[in-house]
Amino acid sequence: MASSKAHQVWIDQCEAAQTIRARYGLDDAFSYLVGEKLLNFAEAASRHPEFARELPPFVAAVRRLFTLDEIETQLAHIESEQKEDDSNEALQEDDPFRESPAAKAERARRFDLVKELLTATVIGTS
């Protein structure tokens, strides 16, 4: 995938989030854009340089679409839901579709990275 295509992906996702917010509200828009698309983009960025180059401008666009208070509140909500899901999953040890500990740790690491990028007081590049 060319870098311009990776760029267009997040542009389209941000536009879709604006439509979702207008129709369904903040929770659904944030869940879509950050809880799904940005986290998936961050995963792709760990393996593909074209996504890695586009991650900073994608994060900057998300920071323009939502206030810091909205971001912090929504991230706390996602964390709370994830902890609840993890607790429920622990009760179902015999579930063959249960997430592996390694996958769970990787998901948590990606979430922490995205959280840090979205809530940092200063974003710079090196």
Per the structure, the complete domain to which residue 7 belongs is given by 3-119
Domain membership of residue 126 (yes or no) is: no
Domain membership of residue 96 (yes or no) is: yes
- Residues 11-70: pLDDT tens digits? 999 999 999 999 999 999 999 999 999 999 999 999 999 999 999 999 999 999 999 999
Domain membership of residue 30 (yes or no) is: yes
Specify whether the backbone of 25 is left (phi greater than 0), alpha (psi in -120 to 50) or beta. left
Domain membership of residue 110 (yes or no) is: yes
Residue 75, pLDDT above cutoff 90: yes
pLDDT at position 98, please? 75
What is the DSSP code (8-state) at residue 91? Answer: T
Helices (H) and strands (E) in the chain, counts: 6, 0
Residue 8, pLDDT above cutoff 90: yes
Task: Work out how many domains the chain is built from and give that number.
Answer: 1
Confidence grade of residue 2 (pLDDT, cut at 50, 70, 90)? low
pTM (two decimals)? 0.84
CA torsion 25→27→28→34, rounded to 10°? 130
- Residues 82-97: pLDDT tens digits? 887 666 666 566 777 7
